[in-house]
Amino acid sequence: MKGYVQVYTGNGKGKTTAAIGLAVRAAGANLKVFIGQFVKGMHYSELESLKRFSDLITIKQFGRDCFIYNDPTEEDIKRARDGLKESKEIINSGEYQVVILDEIHIALYYNLFPVDEVIDIIKNKPDDVELILTGRYAPQEIIDIADLVTEMREIKHYYVKGVVAREGIEK
């Protein structure tokens, strides 16, 4: 099977959720999936859900237990760069048919590593690996070389009325 490059971006809700839905679909077809989460180190409900597929879906977080709100720390940069190096090895290992790099665009937005390194990974990925990149602010260079780009656009969201992230729905 030929693998393509998919991008889920935009300011709307659902980028990670869409990628995880694809991971579950792939596992249903007996494909092995790796999910690397950049800038995330906190506990999210998807971590528990995906444990049910541990024979086919591997998930690893490359962030700290908090989100970056200001300038990234040296630790943020180190974790992201180590995660990118590990992700590149995983993509080229032949072990996984689907690789999801969740919030990689946010890592790029915070300059945790250069966009050229991600473009190199995309251009040199094995032909049979499906690569999914998520996060707001996808760089134009990545959009240009991707095979599929979906933009999640916020039209209306209840957080503007003060609704905080709910367990099992937003976190």
> What's residue 67's pLDDT?
65
Neighbours of 58 (CB within 10 A): 18
- As given in the structure block, the two tokens for residue 171 are 């976190």
Residue-range domains of the chain with CATH: 5-161 (3.40.50.300)
- As given in the structure block, the two tokens for residue 43 are 């506990």
Give all strands (DSSP E) within the chain, no chain letters. 5-9, 33-37, 57-61, 98-102, 130-134, 148-151
Question: pTM higher than 0.85 for the full model?
Answer: yes
> What's residue 54's pLDDT?
94
106-125 burial, b for 16+ CB within 10 Å, e for fewer? bbbbbebbebeebeebbeeb
User: What confidence tens digit (pLDDT) does each residue in 36-59 have?
Assistant: 999 886 777 888 889 999 999 999
Q: Which residues of the chain have pLDDT under 70?
A: 41, 67-69
